[in-house]
Structure 1
C-alpha cells in the first residue's frame, strides 16, 4: 500500500510550480498592457495640455492681428471727408491745391503713425501721398490693378495684404471710397506695416505663421517658410496673385516642407519638418480670421508628448520591476516563514530600536529647522498656519502660538500692501505661485518694515497626498539696502567725474563768460551815448545786441548747470546729432583755447537710442576732452577730433577719434581700471565710469589704434524699438 505513495511523492510539486509559472506570466502580460495604456494616456494628456496652450496663444495673436487692422480702419474714411482732399480730386492739375492736400495727408499720417497714406484718382493714378517729398513717392504711381482700389471704386471698403509696388515693402492696405454725393470720385488708402508683429513672433520658441486665402505664407516666425504654400497654387489662383502683383517678385510658390498627419482626439494636426537642419515634429492648430481673410497657424513642439509617453513607460517598467521583486520577496518569505518564527522576537527588538532612531532623527530635524536663519511656514489647503520656525517668529515679532491656526489676513501683513498680500495668497493657494519666488514686505510687531523673498512648494503628507503649502521666507532687507547704497555710490562717482571734467574747463568757462560780459558793458555804454544823442535806431540796435549777449551768457551757464547736476533725466529717446551738438557747444571754449576743431559725420536719419541723455553726454564729453588733451603736442593743422555715427547689425556705433600719439601697448589693459590715469591731476575715473554707463545701457565700449596715428573709442548702443 505504501509503494504508490513513494512513487507519486517526488512528482507532487510539479503541477503547483507549473501553475505558479503561468500565473507570473499572466501578471507580467497584464502589467505590460497596463504600462502601454498608461503611456498612451500620458501622451494624450500632454497633447491635450499642448492644445490648450496653443488655443490660449491663438487668442493672443489673433487679438494682436485684429487690433493692427482695426487701429487704422477709420483713417481712410475720415480723410475722405476733408475739403482739401475733395478739392484735390476736383482740381487734379492745380499744383497749389495738390500741395495743400499733400501737407494735410502728410500731417495726418505722421500723427496716426501709419506707414503711408495716399489719394488715388478714379483712373488709378495717385494724386496725393504722405511721402510726396521722398525718392519713393507714391505720387504719379498707378495702383489700378490692386484689389483695394477696385473695391473702394465700387463703393466698398477695401482690404489687401501684399508687397508694395513702389517701395517693395509688404504691408496691409486699407481703403475707402471718396464720395461726391452718390458718386465715387476717388479712393483713400492707408498702408499699415505688420513687421512689429513678425519681429515679436521671432522671440517665440515654436513656429507661428499666417497664410492668405490661397494658402501662401506671408508672415511667420520661420523666415525660410515665407512665400511658400500649404497647397499647390496654380491656375486661376496663381493668375490672380500675379495679376495683382500681391507678392512682388515672387512668381512661384513652392510647397512647404511639411509632412502632415492627423492628430486623433485632438484639435489640429501633426507636422513633421526640418528647421535649421534639425528634424522637428509639432502639433499645429489653425484659426480662421474670416474678417481678414487669413488663417493663423500656431504650433507646439510634439517632442514633449513623446517624452511623456516614454517617461510613463519607464516609470511603469520600474514599478513593475519593483513589484516583481516584491513578489519574489514575498514568495521567499513564505517559504522561510517557519525558519523566521524564532527570529520574530529579535525583529521586534530591532523595530523598537529603529523607532528610537526615528524619534532621535525627528528631534534632530526639529532642532535643525529651529536653528535655520531662513523662515519656514507651513499652511494647510484652507490657509491655516500649521507650522512656523523660530526664524520666522523673529522675522515678524510674533510667537508661534500667536500664528498657529491663523487664517489670512495674517497679523504681519503690511497695512500698505494688503491688496498685494491677498494677490500673492490667492496665487499660492491656487498653485500658481512663481517657482522663482516673489518679494513681499511685512510689518514687524514693533513697527519696522522687513523685506522678504518668499518661495513656496507643495506639502506632501505620509500618504503622498497634497496637504498644504510650505513656504521659505528669506530676509532680504539688508541686501536691498546694500543695492541702494551701491547705486548711490555709482551716482556720486559719476557726479565727481562731471565735476572733475568741469574743473578742467574752468579757465575756458571764465574766458567764455568774459566775452559776453565785456560785450554787455560795451553795448550798454554805447546805448547810453546813443540815448543822449537821440539816435533812436542805433539805440535799439545796441539794446538788441545787449539782450543777445545776455542770452549767450545765460546759455553757457545753463549748459554747465545741466551737465553738473546730480540727478539725471532718466530713460528717453535720444537723437545722436543733438547729443554731439550739446557736447561740442559745452566745449567751444576749450577747443578754441586748444586751437582744435571737430569734424562731425552724423547722418540726420539715424535712429534714436534709448538711454539717459545726461549720462550719454557725459561719456561723449569725456571722450572729446581726452582727445583734446591727447593732441596738445600735435601740430595745429592736425588737431582734429573726428566724430562718426553709423548703424551696423541693428546697433548704433559712435566713434570718437583723435590724432594724438595713441595708447601704448603696455598700458592698454589698464585703460579702464579705476583710478588709473596718466594725467598729473587726473582722478582716473573717466574711462571706467564711461564703460559703466555704456554697459548699463546694454552697450559695449571699446578702443583701438587709429590708422595714421591716434586712438578711436567706439560706443555700441541699442537703437530705440
Structure 2
C-alpha cells in the first residue's frame, strides 16, 4: 500500500510538473512579447529629435546664447502626445539644455547627468538603455538614449524616459506571478508590488558602492526577495521557494511557497523575465492520486485477506474433523494406559516421599553437627592462644617462686614481698584469661537484657589479647559518650564481636603496622558497632557469599567458613542485622546493628570475667 501510494504521488507530480512547465513556456512568450511591444513603441523617439533643426541648432551654440524655450515647448508637446514621462536633450558634456518638464520647479534643466550609465553608453556606443530611479523626482522609469548627429558629428544626446506602470498593472491580473530582473539581480518590474526593487541574490559590497555612484536606484534600500533554489529540472526550469517574511497582500494567486521558475533573457536588454508557477495545485492533485492509490491497494489487500481466510477456514474445518476422530481414538487408548500408569505412579510417589523425609532428617543432623564443629573449631583456636598466654605466666611463677626461697633464706624480705606481689598479679591475669574462655564456651539462654557496647567490646578484646599482642595490631576504640546500650544477650554479643575482631586480625596480618578501628554509636531506636580493618578489602565475588555456611577465603585447615554464618544467625535472633562492605578509604568494614535498650540505668552487664 505504501509503495502504491508513493508511486502514484510521484507519477502525478511528474505529469503535473510537465503540464505546468509547458504552460509556463507559453506564458513566457506572452509576457516577453508584451514587454518588447511596450518598449518598442518608444524606441524610435530619440532618433526623431535629430530631424528637428531647432534641436541641432541649440546644441551647436554655446549654452546661454540661444534661448531654448522653443525647443522646450516642442519637447513638452511631443512628451504629452507620446505619453512618456520626460524627453530631454543633453550636450556632450552631460548638461541638460532642454527638457519637456521645463515649466516645473523640479525640472531637469541645467542638471549634469554625465554620471548616468545611459549617457555613458550613448557616448560610447551611439545608444543606451537603462532602468533606474530618477535623482530629481525619485520616479522609476526606463531610459532610452540616442546620439544626435549631423554633418559636423555628434552634437548631443536625446533621452526618453518611459513609464512601465501600465504594463505592470496589466500583469497583476494574470494567472501566475511574473517579474523582470536587471543585470544586477534587482527586480525592476513585477506583477506583485511588494517584489519591486528586491534582490534575487545577495549584493556584495562593491556592487552596493557602484549603485551609490551611479544612483541607479536613488539610494533605495534593496532587500532580498527570499527566493531559494531547491533543485534543477529539465529545459532550464527550477524548483524554488519564496519565504513568507511579510504579510501577504490580497492577490489572485499565492506569492509564497514552492514555485516552478522559468526564465528567459530579453533580447536587446540585460534583463531576465521569470514566470513563477505555484505548485499548490500540483501537490493537491498528487496527494489525491496517492490517496486513491492507497485506498485501492487497501481494498485489494483486504479482499486478498478475506479470500485467504476463507480458504484457511475450509482447510481448518477438514483438518479439525480428521483431528477430532484421531483424538477420540487416541484418548480411549490413553485412558486405558493412564489408568494402569496411575497405580504404578502412586506407589513410586509414596516411596519418594519416604526417601525425601529420611534425606531431610539426615541433612538437618549433618548441619547441626557442622555448626557444632564450627563452634568447637572456634573454641580450639581460642584455646591455642590462651594456652600460649598461660605458658608465659606459669614459667614466670616458677622462676619467681624459686627466687623467693633464696631471698627468704638470705633474709631479704622486701625482695621476697615484691616477688609474691608479682606472682599474685600473674595469677589474676591467668584467671581472667580462663574466665573469658569459660564465658565464651558457655551457652547462655536466649534472653535479652541491656548490654553496654563499650563493656562488650572490652571483654572481646580481653579474650583476643594474646592474638592482638602477637600480631602487634593497633586497636583504635574511642569511648562513646553516652555509652550505647543494646538489648540482647551479653555472652552471644561477645561471641559475635570476637569473631568479627578475629577476622579483622586475619585481614591485617600483612601490613607492617596493622590497625583496626572499632566505633560504637547510637540512633533513635538502634545501636551500631563498626569493625573496620585496614587490609585489602572484600572482592566482589566474596561479598556475594559472605554469610553462606562453609564459605571461607582462608587456607585449608585454618577455618570452616561458619563464623560469619553463625554470627549472622545470632544477630537475627535479637532482631538485629550484620552486613559487610568495603570502606571508601580502603579495607573492609562490618556493621552490627541491634535494638537500643531503654534509657533506664542498668548494672546487669558483668565486668570482664576474672
Please, what TM-score do these two structures have when normalized by structure 2?
0.47
Please, what TM-score do these two structures have when normalized by structure 1?
0.40
- State the structure with more CA Rg: 2
